[in-house]
A and B are shown apart, each in its own frame.
Chain A
Amino acid sequence: EAQVTQNPRYLITVTGKKLTVTCSQNMNHEYMSWYRQDPGLGLRQIYYSMNVEVTDKGDVPEGYKVSRKEKRNFPLILESPSPNQTSLYFCASSPDSINSPLHFGNGTRLTVT
């Protein structure tokens, strides 16, 4: 089944403890992206990747890192999480960056205390 798989689905952590949210897609998509969803703000892009080893900042990149060593994987890394990073996170992919709709993972609910 074609899908974008995010893990974990829920995560509770403490301030400053490094964490990684994994994202993998099995559709051979070139484009991948991370969004965070907050009430009243919709989804805002954190980072995106046009292809392997090509990543760039979105609208809210502060406090996050990403890597794209393989086409299928695009992990989101929080080196030192803070409470303002408590949010719902989505990974998404599309065949290209031109006009294709995004395919989304099921989301990761992160709480930082």
Chain B
Amino acid sequence: AQTVTQSQPEMSVQEAETVTLSCTYDTSENNYYLFWYKQPPSRQMILVIRQEAYKQQNATENRFSVNFQKAAKSFSLKISDSQLGDTAMYFCAVRPVAQKLVFGQGTRLTINP
């Protein structure tokens, strides 16, 4: 079975700062994919970024990047130059090939003006 742990229930930073959300996971599979989803107050689930486990290069999407440490089973999300619109709940998730997507508990991120 897969598990995902997000150890920071809440975080708060000032606008324009950089913030890192942590995520660790456990899976016995060798081939899997990792995702970060954002859930703003509108409660939509929005894909932020994804990482393929067999790729060593860390994924980036504009201001969002990940630090993927496969041996440590760690998948943190870095948000650079944070904006008020980044305020949301963030979920880390792992999906082994041909299996279900398993989510962490979520981190509530608040960006303060």
Contact = CB atoms under 8 A, between A and B. Distances in A.
The secondary structure that dominates the B interface is loop
A101 B35 contact: yes
A97 B98 contact: yes
A101 B50 contact: yes
Interface string B85-107: 00000010001011111111110
Given A42-B91, A42-B106, A102 B44 contact: no
Contacts, number: 48
Q: In which size bucket is the chain B interface?
A: 20 to 34
A99 B105 contact: no
Contacts of B99: 97
Q: How large is the interface on A (under 10, 10 to 19, 20 to 34, 35 or more residues)?
A: 20 to 34
A41 B98 CA distance: 23
A107 B43 contact: yes
A107 B37 CA distance: 15
A90 B45 contact: yes
Given A33-B101, A97-B98, A102-B45, 13 more contacts: A42-B103, A45-B101, A45-B102, A48-B100, A58-B100, A92-B45, A97-B99, A98-B97, A99-B33, A99-B52, A104-B45, A107-B43, A107-B45
Interface of A: 33, 35, 40-45, 48, 58, 88, 90, 92, 97-99, 101-102, 104, 106-107
